[in-house]
């Protein structure tokens, strides 16, 4: 049996130190939990090994700092699901977080869970603890936790959070999958054109120069383009990178984001996907918050930060100011002429019947179905457009070379 030094918190939140004998660290932690404590650190060593205990504290502290790294959306979804299941089984929040933090996944998200556990053990409220990791847990997530604390049904609230994030994740994956094939076609087309201009055309150019005949205009254009790519291609890559960095930085500013979001709402094919995705996310988020008892003004404030489109979020913010003056939600939103009439009309029905949650759920499903249709339309139209574009580029190379071959053949009277 090995000796293990532990530091834990009692149910009253007091710090407890001691040592236990166990065959391994996991068994030692089990013994500490059986005592009714929540383990903070368990390290192998003797009772008098203060240096080891101090080292354990330092290690825990360093791990907590690394916990400022963010979880991916998929990790947040899995963590929330597991936490909900543990709470539903009767575990306390501290024990549930301790159980999740003891898994040696090797992922950055593990340190976030350890940080949450340490905050809860110190006596920090659950919503306050989650709010200390803003890069991982959004305003929506923290507000839902606050609603769970107020209602006392945390496991049920977490299940609703899981449902919400599953729908959001599903929407992202649909858009990503829809763009995969067109992007593959575009990348292969560009690589094919580069190969033709750098490798194929120069070989034919040598043959044409040896024959010394006048070449057709398209062939001369192709050869000039090939020479430019070989001589100044590196410069074009640098310029493209500089422009890309400039655009990226510009889009991080408020004005740049607003211009992009406005452009996306007016561009054919794209506007349908962006609008439907934004409306469904807006309805689903607002419905989830109101169903969990979050006040209307606070819910609208959260929706402003989570909508994803500045044009629509600015209008919601203006509507929130009008709601403060005592107006309904649907009226101020309709006055902005940004949201579609169907959205505001269905919202008004929910206000009349007093069942806003159900009404917003219907709105969300309607626009999720519309999003699916718009994605299909987009991919159906984009694929042939890209194929035609690539075919025109490759076809120009082929036709230009063939025209030169036919011209030279006629000159030689073959």
- Looking at 10-24, 156-170, 218-232, 386-400, which range is the least confident one? 10-24
Q: Which of 83-97, 112-126, 167-181, 305-319 has the lowest mean pLDDT?
A: 167-181
When pLDDT is cut at 50, 70 and 90, the band that residue 241 belongs to is: very high
pLDDT the model gives residue 57 = 44
Task: Please check whether residues 79 and 192 belong to one and the same domain.
Answer: no
Domain assignment of residue 7, yes or no = yes
Sequence-ordered list of residues with C-beta below 8 angstroms from that of 218, at least 6 positions apart, any chain:
396, 399, 400, 403
So what's the pLDDT on residue 243? 94
Take residue 10 and report the two structure tokens written for it: 């009692």
Rounded mean pLDDT of 190-195?
A: 85
Q: Under 8 Å CB-to-CB from 113, ≥6 apart: which residues?
A: 67, 79, 97, 100, 101
pLDDT the model gives residue 54: 46
- 150/93: higher pLDDT: 93
Q: What is the mean pLDDT of residues 61-74?
A: 57
Mean pLDDT (the chain, rounded):
78
Same domain, 48 and 83: no
Query: Per DSSP, which regions of 77-216 are E strands?
Result: none
Beta strands in 2-143 (DSSP E): 2-9, 15-22, 38-44
Residue 26 lies in a domain: yes
**DSSP for 346-413?**
HHHHHHHHT-HHHHHHHHHHHHHHHHHHHHHHHHHHHHHHHHHHHHHHHHHHHHHHHHHHHHHHHHTT
- Under the banding of pLDDT at 50, 70 and 90, the label for residue 183 is confident
Question: Which pLDDT does position 287 carry in this prediction?
Answer: 81
Same domain, 115 and 257: no
DSSP 3-state of 2: strand
Q: What is the DSSP string of 259-285?
A: HHHHHHTTSTTHHHHHHHHHHHHHHHH
Residue 162 and residue 288 in contact, taking contact as beta carbons nearer than 8 Å: no
Each residue's pLDDT tens digit, 246-291: 998 988 888 888 898 888 888 887 888 888 888 887 888 788 778 7
Give the pair of three-digit tokens for residue 397.
């190379």
Q: Per residue in 282-332, pLDDT tens?
A: 888 788 778 777 778 878 887 887 777 888 888 888 888 777 655 578 888
Q: Which of 120-124, 170-174, 184-188 has the lowest mean pLDDT?
A: 170-174
Q: Is residue 66 part of a domain?
A: no
Main-chain dihedrals φ then ψ at residue 67, nearest 5 degrees: -65, -10
Same domain, 318 and 364: yes
Q: Are residues 159 and 218 in the same domain?
A: no
Residue 186 placed within a domain = yes
Say whether both 249 and 381 belong to one domain.
yes
- Give the pLDDT confidence score for residue 324 in this predicted structure: 64
Decide which of 165, 185, 204 is a domain's last residue. Answer: 165
Burial class of 405 by CB neighbour count within 10 A (0 to 12, 13 to 18, 19+): middle
Same domain, 186 and 241: yes
- The pLDDT > 70 percentage for the chain reads 85
Q: Predicted confidence band at 53 (pLDDT cuts at 50, 70, 90)?
A: very low
For 386-393, what is the mean pLDDT? 84
Question: How many domains would you assign to the chain?
Answer: 3
Higher-confidence position of 384 and 55: 384
Residues in the chain: 414
Model pTM above 0.85: no
Structural domain includes residue 78: yes
Instruction: Give the per-residue pLDDT at 61.
Output: 41
pLDDT on residue 10:
66
* Residue 49 sits in the same domain as residue 10: yes
β-strands 15-22, 38-44 pairing: unpaired
The CATH number assigned to the domain holding 372 equals: 1.20.81.30
* HSE-up (13 A, CA, CB side) for residue 64: 16
Residue 142 lies in a domain: yes
- The backbone torsions φ and ψ at residue 205, rounded to the nearest 5 degrees and listed phi first, read -60, -40
Alpha-carbon distances of 76 from 53, 134, 157, rounded to whole Å:
32, 12, 15
Which pLDDT value is given to residue 52? Answer: 44
**pLDDT (0 to 100) of residue 232:** 86
In a domain, 182, yes or no: yes
Domain that holds residue 384: 168-414
Place of tokens 């909900």: 84
pLDDT tier for residue 12 given thresholds of 50, 70 and 90: low
Let me know if 236 is exposed, middle or buried by CB neighbors in 10 A (0-12, 13-18, 19+).
exposed
317 and 176 in one domain? yes
Ramachandran region, residue 70 (left: φ > 0; alpha: ψ -120 to 50; beta: rest): beta
CA of residue 322 relative to chain centroid, distance: 31
Please determine, for residue 378, whether its predicted confidence score (pLDDT) is greater than 50. Answer: yes
């Amino acid at each position: 049996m090995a000796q293990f030094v532990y530091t834990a918190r009692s149910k009253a939140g007091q710090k407890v130190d001691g040592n236990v004998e166990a065959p391994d660290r996991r068994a030692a932690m089990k013994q500490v939990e059986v005592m009714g404590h929540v383990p903070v650190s368990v390290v192998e060593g003797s009772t008098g090994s203060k240096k080891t205990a101090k080292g354990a504290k330092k290690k825990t502290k360093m791990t907590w700092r690394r916990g400022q790294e963010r979880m991916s959306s998929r990790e947040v979804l899995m963590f929330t699901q597991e936490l909900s299941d543990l709470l539903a089984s009767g575990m306390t929040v501290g024990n549930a977080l301790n159980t999740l933090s003891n898994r040696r996944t090797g992922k950055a998200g593990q340190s976030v869970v350890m940080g949450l556990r340490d905050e809860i053990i110190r006596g920090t409220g659950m919503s306050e603890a989650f709010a200390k990791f803003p890069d991982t847990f959004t305003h929506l997530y923290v507000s839902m936790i606050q609603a769970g604390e107020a209602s006392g049904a945390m496991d049920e609230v977490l299940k609703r959070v899981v449902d919400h994030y599953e729908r959001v994740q599903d929407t992202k994956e649909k858009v990503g999958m829809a763009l995969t094939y067109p992007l593959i076609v575009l990348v292969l087309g560009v690589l094919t054109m580069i190969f033709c201009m750098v490798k194929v055309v120069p070989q034919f150019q040598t043959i044409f120069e040896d024959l010394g005949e006048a070449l057709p205009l398209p062939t001369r254009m192709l050869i000039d383009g090939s020479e430019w790519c070989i001589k100044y291609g590196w410069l074009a890559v640098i310029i493209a990178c500089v422009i890309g960095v400039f655009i990226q930085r510009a889009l991080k500013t408020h004005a740049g984001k607003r211009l992009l979001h406005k452009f996306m709402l007016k561009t054919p094919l794209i506007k349908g996907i962006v609008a439907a995705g934004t409306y469904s996310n807006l309805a689903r988020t607002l419905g989830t918050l109101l169903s969990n008892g979050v006040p209307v003004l606070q819910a609208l404030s959260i929706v402003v930060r989570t909508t994803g489109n500045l044009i629509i979020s600015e209008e919601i913010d203006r509507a929130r100011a009008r709601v403060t003056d005592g107006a309904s939600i649907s009226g101020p939103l309709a006055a902005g002429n940004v949201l579609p009439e169907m959205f505001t009309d269905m919202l008004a029905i929910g206000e009349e019947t007093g069942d806003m949650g159900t009404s917003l759920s219907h709105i969300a499903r309607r626009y999720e179905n519309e999003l699916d249709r718009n994605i299909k339309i987009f991919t159906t139209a984009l694929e042939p457009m890209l194929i035609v574009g690539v075919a025109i580029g490759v076809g120009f190379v082929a036709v230009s070379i063939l025209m030169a071959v036919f011209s030279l053949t006629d000159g030689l009277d073959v």
